[in-house]
Structures are given as structure tokens and as C-alpha cells.
Amino acid sequence: MDIVLRAVVLFLFVWFVTRAVGRRELSTLEPFDLILLVVLGDLIQQGVTQNDFSVTGAILAGGTMALMTVLFSFLAFRFPKRIGPVLEGDPVILVERGRTIDRNLRRNRITLEELAAQARINAQIAHLDQIEWAVLETSGQISFIPSRS
Amino acid sequence: MSDIPDQLTLKVNRDREGKRDVVARRIGVGVLIVVLALGLLNLFGQRPSTMTEDAEAATLEVYAPERVRGGLFYQARFTIEARREVREATLVLDPGWVEGITINTLAPGPVGEASRNGDLSFELGRIPAGDKHVFFLQLQVNPTNVGHRSQGVQLYDGDELLATIDRSITVFP
């Protein structure tokens, strides 16, 4: 029983950490971030399984994690206005018709340099004033809609 | 000029009206910092502490952590300094010392081990006046062992109680 409880607690902890840290930090997979994610996964795994090396234990822990993922997904789907934003966050507009929304950039710790780099990489946009809309999605990716002119 | 993308609104997604996500995130980071600070302050173990009982016949000192976590290895050190000769030094430990805790080894090996009214009894032998006897227990917390329990220690000379230390241990998951 305790392995299921540990899996639930650590699932909630990982969710809490990802929400507290912010989506941008977790969506950019620089080599350091990648290593950090692997290390975090290893630390969490030890807390869940501890000295349990059994197949039963792995099934219980893995099954709990999978079920919690389904539960969160269902809640976000069933209550998109009330629970969805809490569990997954909202998209945030960063650029509106070529004009940056500095408050939103600052709140999400995104610099103009980073925004410009993402525009070049993801949308082949050379200048920020060529962006109609830039939106920080709930996945942490920034989507760009270029100006028509 | 294109309209705002579908499913987005300026109120919610640009102006963040009624949204407290930044405040919630700051509170979340604050909670994490507090938990880590409490960890540094030894709230979750396993920094050892020393407890001493000065008795007429001997001084008994216990050096062991009072807070540990599941799976951790740790050591308990018992030091007895005899003021007068202790002919049959016996250390009696509450069952909480081994309840859900594995004894990996003990050193030096006691002369005898027994149960004394449900407690653990280690017979250490003779300690001459002015001598010091140090007894080590190497322990490991079983992962499923969570809670708080008594870990009292008593020093006897045969059946004569010489010193008592009341302590307890808290095991975090």
C-alpha cells in the first residue's frame, strides 16, 4: 500500500515543482536541463520504490503514476475553465501586433534576446515587429504567428 | 491585421485579469525554500545529538540522531565512563532502537545479549574505575518504518540501575 501512497505523493510533488519552477525552464532542453531532468527522475524513483526491487512494486508505482496522469488530464478536460488553468496553466500572449507585452515577458522570465532567438528558430522571423502574435503555450513552447504585411 | 488567435482573449491571456499564477508560483517557490531551510536546520535528520547523564557511579553518554529518514544508515555511540568499578556493566535499550531498524553490526561485541522485560540487554563486562567503555551500534532504518518511538537507554551494574537517558527518535518517510 505504501508504494502507491509514495507514488501519489511524489507525483503531486513533481507537479508542484513543475508549476512552481515555471514552464519555460522545463521546456528548454539544454544539455544542463536534460541532465537535471534525468537526475531528478532518479531521485524521485528512489523515493517511490526505495528498496523494493519487485515487478509487483514496479507495476504498482508505474500504474499509480499513469493513473494520476489520466486523472489530471481528465480533470483538465472536464473542467477546462476552473481546473485546467490550475493544473496546466494558461497560454500567455507575449507579442501583440509587433509590440512586446513586457509585463508578461518579465513574469515568465523571458528576455527579448530569447524571444528573438525563438522567433528565428521556430518561425524564421528576423524582426520582432514582423510578429503578429507570440504566445507562450502551456507546454512552455512559444508559438509565433507572423504579420501578413 | 489578424484577429486574436482562437480560444485566447486579451483579458485572460494578455492582461491576465483575475489570474494569480505569478503569486501562486512565488508562494510555491517560497514553500520549497522553507522546506529546504528546515532540512538544513536538521528538522528531517540525521545530524546526531549528544545526551549525557552524570551519575555517581558512572557517566553515560549517547551520541545518535533523533531524526532519521527511511533507508538511512546511521550510528549510535554509547560512552560509559566509570567513576568506580562497574563489575557487570549492562546497557539496556528500549525496543524502539530496533523496531523497524536493522542492526548492521555492533562493536565491540558484548559479552552477552538478552531480553530484559522486553528491552534489549547488552552485557558489556567489567569496567574498572576511571576507565571508559565505548559501544557502537551501526543501524539502518527500514524504509516502511515511519513514526515516533521511545529510545531510552539505561546503564546497570548487574541489577543496580546506575544511569538513565530518556530520548526518542522520529523516522520520516
DSSP chain A: -HHHHHHHHHHHHHHHHHHHH-HHHHH---HHHHHHHHHHHHHHHHHHHTT---HHHHHHHHHHHHHHHHHHHHHHHHSTTTTHHHHH---EEEEETTEE-HHHHHHTT--HHHHHHHHHHHH----GGGEEEEEE-TTS-EEEEE---
pTM: 0.77
Give pLDDT, residue A28: 67
pLDDT at A73: 92
Residue-level pLDDT at A32: 84
Q: Round the CA-based radius of gyration of chain A to a whole number and report it.
A: 19
Test the A interface: residue of B2, B44, B101, B140 with most A CBs within 10 Å: B2
pLDDT tens, residue by residue, A82-138 = 888 888 888 999 999 999 999 999 988 899 999 999 999 989 999 999 999 999 998
pLDDT for the residue numbered A88: 84
Length of chain A: 149
User: Hey, of B8, B10, B19, B21, which one would you mutate to test binding to chain A, going by the most A CBs within 10 A of its CB?
Assistant: B21
With b for 16 or more beta-carbon neighbours within 10 A and e for fewer, the B78-110 pattern comes to bbbbbeeebebbbbbbbebbeeebeeeeeeeeb
Residues of B in contact with A97 (CB under 8 A): 1
Yes or no, beta carbons of A50 and B24 under 8 Å apart? no
Contact (CB, 8 A) for A27 and A140: yes
pLDDT reading at B169 higher than 80 = yes
CA distance B11 to chain A (A): 10
The domain segmentation of chain A, as residue ranges, is 2-86, 92-146
Look at B28 and A19 and tell me if their CB atoms are within 8 Å.
Answer: yes
In angstroms, the separation between the Cα of residue A46 and the nearest Cα of chain B is 10
Dihedral angle sign, alpha carbons of residues A18, A24, A25, A30: positive
Please report the ipTM that was assigned to this predicted complex. 0.72
Is the predicted pLDDT of residue B135 greater than 60, yes or no?
A: yes
Contact A63, A48 (CB under 8 A): no
Residues 109-148 of A with CB under 8 A from B: 132-133, 135, 145, 148
Inform me whether the pLDDT recorded for B6 exceeds 60.
yes
User: Which residues neighbour A103 within 8 Å (Cβ) at sequence distance 6 or greater?
Assistant: none
Q: Report whether CATH 3.30.465.10 matches the domain A92-146.
A: no
Nearest CA in chain A to B72: A50
Q: How far is CA B143 from CA A39, A142, B75, B102, in A?
A: 21, 43, 17, 10
Rounded distance between C-alpha atoms, residue B172 and residue B42, angstroms: 12
Q: Please answer whether residues B64 and B75 qualify as being in contact, where contact means their C-beta atoms are separated by less than 8 angstroms.
A: yes
Q: Answer with the residue of higher pLDDT: A87 or B139.
A: B139
Find chain B residues with C-beta within 8 A of A22's C-beta: 25
